Amino acid sequence: GGGETSVRVERMFGLMDRFLKSDPSSLQKDILDHVEYTVARSRFSFDDFEAYQALAHSVRDRLIERWHDTQIHFKKKDPKRIYFLSLEFLMGRSLSNSVINLGIRDQYADALKELGFEFEVLAEQEGDAALGNGGLARLSACQMDSLATMDYPAWGYGLRYQYGLFRQVILDGYQHEQPDYWLNFGNPWEIERVHVTYPVKFYGTVEDENFNGGKRKVWLPGEMVEAVAYDNPIPGHGTRNTITLRLWAAKPSDQIDMESFNTGDYINAVVNRQRAETISSVLYPDDRSYQGKELRLKQQYFFVSASLQDIIRRFKDSHSNFDDFPEKVALQLNDTHPSLAIAEVMRVLVDEEHLDWNRAWGIVCKIFSFTTHTVLPEGLEKVPVDLLESLLPRHLQIIYDINFDYIEELKKKIGLDYDRLSRMSIVEDGAVKSIRMANLAIVCSHTVNGVSRVHSELLKTRVFKDFYELWPHKFDYKTNGVTQRRWIVVSNPSLSALISKWLGTEAWIRDVDLLAGLQEQAANVDLHEEWRMVRKVNKMRLAEYIEAMSGIKVSVNAMFDVQIKRIHEYKRQLLNILGIIHRYDCIKNMEKSDRTKVVPRVCIIGGKAAPGYEIAKKIIKLCNAVAEKINNDPDVGDLLKLVFIPDYNVSVAELVIPGADLSQHISTAGHEASGTGNMKFLMNGCLLLATEDGSTVEIIEEIGEDNMEFERSRLK
């Protein structure tokens, strides 16, 4: 890590006195200047949205200062950098998170108050950056916050989708999908780098060329598009370290294809070239299923190629020998989505840098680590050979060559066990010949990690058993985590204040282990009382939201019972709904006098279904139909309500989690690789109703059996 030789120390050598001041009156001036010169509104007349824009720009200025310091610091130190490659990042909103990490939230709130604005109201003007589907994508976002806070020299690389995850609209109980126009009102949190661009090539042919008395391969591409960098600064908490999430957008390239302009059809030539932009236009909304679509493969290669050109350019700035590459570069593959990077590094080293194959392979095998987020073998990506051959002909050759050498080595180790050899091969010879991306990733990564302990056991004993037996040292697990900055400090400010008060320190905001200090106060009734008040405030906030969204009035005295996550059969929202129907039945059939014994309950379900996942969509309809019935039965009243919260996203989670009394994580055991929602509820003091699956198993160990109750059916 960055440790003590960190950016925190670096500021001493910086031009501290030149930095933007953050006292309320300096902030006020900056906000008003941005109203006038950035938003181009009169400083005497601007609305909440314009105030938000100006505010965001003033925060951004402060981020940029820190970002520059960070760049200078790491350029000078030249440490090994961590490159986190992910096709998905669910960042949510940036304003509150940024000012809290910068430590100037209160100063901004004061500055705004004098201008007649409320910080919270302006924060609500921001839309979510929803460049991802579910847990995997939010994990990437939490990870970036932690890497910045812990002073790592890290970069995130991904795609700047024009349209993020679809908006969910419920009509007549059914889910409808609408495009997410998140960039329509501008995005103050990104910096467009018009000069950081790289050409990315597709299609074409591979030719043999004479070279130094031998032959070498040359890829003659058939299409070229330009990748443009958009930098999103990610500030750490309590440090100046501000790292970069660099997202690529596709633009038409001006490098080749002048031919079409010379034929005289100028209008059509322009229109055709504009099609390049479709590569980064839309996020695929199906989590954990790969359909072998060309556009998806194009997205994967586009982002991998641009990122690697950028990474190699940075390495070459201060190094000339590629043998040093593994000392300066670590590439983390977030699932198999970026695993074309392996073939791409080989291609660059061999075809462009002219290293011999074995030397290049030695380097490649030292730089990649692979995180897998899947339990089911059918969740693993397979790319049809035909598709890869047409889009990336040279990469297919390279993968074949990697596979040939690897299988030859494997035969020496395991003998001619053809069943096993064919299971472990990178190339699958089925009805559709395809490339197994996970096998490619495992063969060349030096570590393969699961996302919880039980997940990694499943990997070793089932999903990747053959590989584990061959290379046990590669397999590891890193149980998922979530950042308390976002999931307590930003989303539950009252709880945050309570914790700091009772711990007597804010150090837990950087070091979550310190929360254990609250144990000493576990029996303190004053703490209990304050805790209950905090919960009440959050439930009121949630109840208002529910009424505004759905018109349903819920009682804050009822137990709020929540299940929010992507809709999936294995997550068993259906089981929850059947339980609610049963509860309704029981209440209906009960003696009137017994009803006083029922704990009133508001059941809250939220989540999106992949647009093509019919059963998941039917579960949403069922939930809304059951809600319609229960909520309109005067006989039941406040004893039971069911609310489907539409368009579940990061911001909705920030509102719902602090207001939950009970949360459900009831996946079919053995199916949830980790789960991260459970941790967010837990750190907000919520009871969990859960199966022993994924990371819940470790939560049980952490909280101790005193703090839980096992169901009778548990197999011990």
Measured CA to CA, the distance from residue 648 to residue 650 in angstroms comes to 7
Measured CA to CA, the distance from residue 561 to residue 656 in angstroms comes to 10
Q: Which helix (H) or strand (E) holds 629?
A: helix 614-631
Measured CA to CA, the distance from residue 581 to residue 583 in angstroms comes to 5
Annotated catalytic residue 465: no
Q: Which residue in the set 509, 534, 694, 697 belongs to the binding site for ligand CR6 (CB under 6 A)? A: 694
Q: How far is the CB of 388 from ligand CR6 (least distance, A)?
A: 21
Pick the catalytic residue from 242, 336, 374, 676: 676
In angstroms, the first-to-last Cα distance of the chain is: 41
CB neighbourhood size of 8 (10 A): 16
Task: Return the number of the residue (139 or 424) whose C-beta is nearest ligand CR6.
Answer: 139
Measured CA to CA, the distance from residue 629 to residue 456 in angstroms comes to 43
Which residues in the 645-674 window bind ligand CR6 by CB under 6 A? 672-674
Stretches 134-142, 229-237, 336-344, 383-391: which one binds ligand CR6 (CB under 6 A)?
134-142
Stretches 128-136, 223-231, 543-551, 574-582: which one binds ligand CR6 (CB under 6 A)?
128-136
Rule CB under 6 A: say whether 158 interacts with ligand CR6.
no
Rule CB under 6 A: say whether 86 interacts with ligand CR6.
no
Q: How far is the CB of 217 from ligand CR6 (least distance, A)?
A: 34
Q: What is the DSSP string of 91-140?
A: EE--HHHHHHHHT-HHHHHHHHHHHT--HHHHHTTPPPEEES-SHHHHHH
Which residues in the 403-462 window bind ligand CR6 by CB under 6 A? 451
Angle at 115 between CA 113 and CA 121, to 5 degrees: 55
Pick the catalytic residue from 160, 571, 572, 608: 571
Q: How far is the CB of 653 from ligand CR6 (least distance, A)?
A: 14
Task: Return the number of the residue (250 or 451) whose C-beta is nearest ligand CR6.
Answer: 451
Task: Return the number of the residue (104 or 673) whose C-beta is nearest ligand CR6.
Answer: 673
Rule CB under 6 A: say whether 374 interacts with ligand CR6.
yes
Annotated catalytic residue 680: yes
Which residues in the 180-219 window bind ligand CR6 by CB under 6 A? none
Rule CB under 6 A: say whether 483 interacts with ligand CR6.
no
Measured CA to CA, the distance from residue 605 to residue 155 in angstroms comes to 35
Annotated catalytic residue 676: yes
Site map for ligand CR6, 323-362, x if CB under 6 A? ------------x---------------------------
Q: How far is the CB of 16 from ligand CR6 (least distance, A)?
A: 40
Pairing of strands 434-436, 427-428: antiparallel
Place of tokens 């400083």: 43
Q: Which residue in the set 134, 156, 235, 606 belongs to the binding site for ligand CR6 (CB under 6 A)? A: 134
Q: How far is the CB of 379 from ligand CR6 (least distance, A)?
A: 6
| Long-range contacts of the stretch 1-7 (C-beta < 8 A, 24+) | 1/150, 1/151, 1/152, 2/79, 2/150, 2/151, 2/152, 2/153, 2/241, 3/151, 5/77, 6/151, 6/239, 6/241, 7/66, 7/69, 7/70, 7/73, 7/151, 7/236, 7/239, 7/240, 7/241, 7/242
Query: How many chain residues interact with ligand CR6 (CB under 6 A)?
Result: 17
Rule CB under 6 A: say whether 136 interacts with ligand CR6.
yes
Longest dimension (CA), the chain: 96
Helix H, strand E, coil C: the string for 583-608 is HHHHHHHCCHHHHHHCCCEEEEEECC
Helix, strand or coil for residue 198? strand
Q: How far is the CB of 353 from ligand CR6 (least distance, A)?
A: 34
Q: Which residue in the set 62, 66, 251, 373 belongs to the binding site for ligand CR6 (CB under 6 A)? A: 373
Q: How far is the CB of 609 from ligand CR6 (least distance, A)?
A: 13
Phi and psi torsions of 433, nearest 5°: -65, 130
316 token code pair: 């070459």
Pick the catalytic residue from 460, 565, 568, 641: 565
Residue number of the CB atom closest to ligand CR6: 135
428 token code pair: 């699958």
Annotated catalytic residue 571: yes
Q: How far is the CB of 134 from ligand CR6 (least distance, A)?
A: 4
Q: Which residue in the set 98, 125, 480, 496 belongs to the binding site for ligand CR6 (CB under 6 A)? A: 480
For CA atoms 521, 522, 524, 528, the dihedral sign is: positive
Packing angle, helices 95-102 and 48-77, rounded to 10? 50
Task: Return the number of the residue (24 or 132) whose C-beta is nearest ligand CR6.
Answer: 132
Pick the catalytic residue from 34, 680, 691, 696: 680
Site map for ligand CR6, 669-688, x if CB under 6 A? ---xxxxx------------
Measured CA to CA, the distance from residue 320 to residue 316 in angstroms comes to 6
Pick the catalytic residue from 138, 298, 373, 474: 373
Q: How far is the CB of 457 from ligand CR6 (least distance, A)?
A: 14
110 token code pair: 């004061």
Task: Return the number of the residue (136 or 534) whose C-beta is nearest ligand CR6.
Answer: 136
Stretches 131-139, 315-323, 522-530, 592-600: which one binds ligand CR6 (CB under 6 A)?
131-139
**Residue 62: DSSP 8-state:** H
Annotated catalytic residue 11: no
Phi and psi torsions of 88, nearest 5°: -140, 135
Q: How far is the CB of 675 from ligand CR6 (least distance, A)?
A: 5
Which residues participate in catalysis according to the annotation?
373, 565-566, 571, 676, 680
**Chain positions contacting ligand CR6, by CB under 6 A:** 134-136, 139, 287-288, 335, 373-374, 451, 480, 672-676, 694
